[in-house]
Amino acid sequence: MMQTKLKAKLPRKWQVWLSSSMGIKIVRYTLTSVISTVVSFGILYIVYDYKLLGAVASAVLANAVATVPSYYLNRQWAWQKSGPSHFWREVIPFWVTSFAGLGFSMLTVALASHYGPDFVSSHQTMTLLIDFANLFAYGVMWVGKFVFYNLWLFNK
């Protein structure tokens, strides 16, 4: 009901696009990214804020955990793939792209961790800076991963 009301307020061009196969896929990919980001950020914030691990180790743990629901939501919901996953054609490439994003995240988190104390004084603000560095890294990777998933990974 709410979706219908929201859709009715959009211009006709957007309504048609949102109903298309690509529109549905992009919306689902985006929602999957939001869910994965919430999982990742929640874990990163808790682990780093309670000083259980350092900044980079917290980001590694948070993003590795978030990759599991991301794979299944992307494969089954966004790209509507069913049946068993193909280990070499789907699982490995997905984890490689995820760890490429993780590597970029580790770099940005390490830079924020190293240079952040020069600009911020509280641990809370530093925690937010670490979260922002992580978000920046994954934002940069988001579009490229969509193209890769759509054209190659889940399009077979």
Q: What is the pLDDT of residue 5?
A: 59
Token pair for residue 111? 């830079």
3-state helix, strand, coil in the chain (%, to 5): 85, 0, 15
Largest Cα separation within the chain, whole Å, is: 51
Residue 10 φ/ψ, nearest 5 degrees: -85, 150
Which residue ranges in the chain fall short of pLDDT 50? 1-2
**Global confidence as pTM:** 0.74
Distance CA 33, CA 49 (A): 23
Distance CA 125, CA 55 (A): 13
Q: What is the pLDDT of residue 86?
A: 92
The candidate with the shortest Cα–Cα distance to 135, out of 50, 38, 56, is: 38
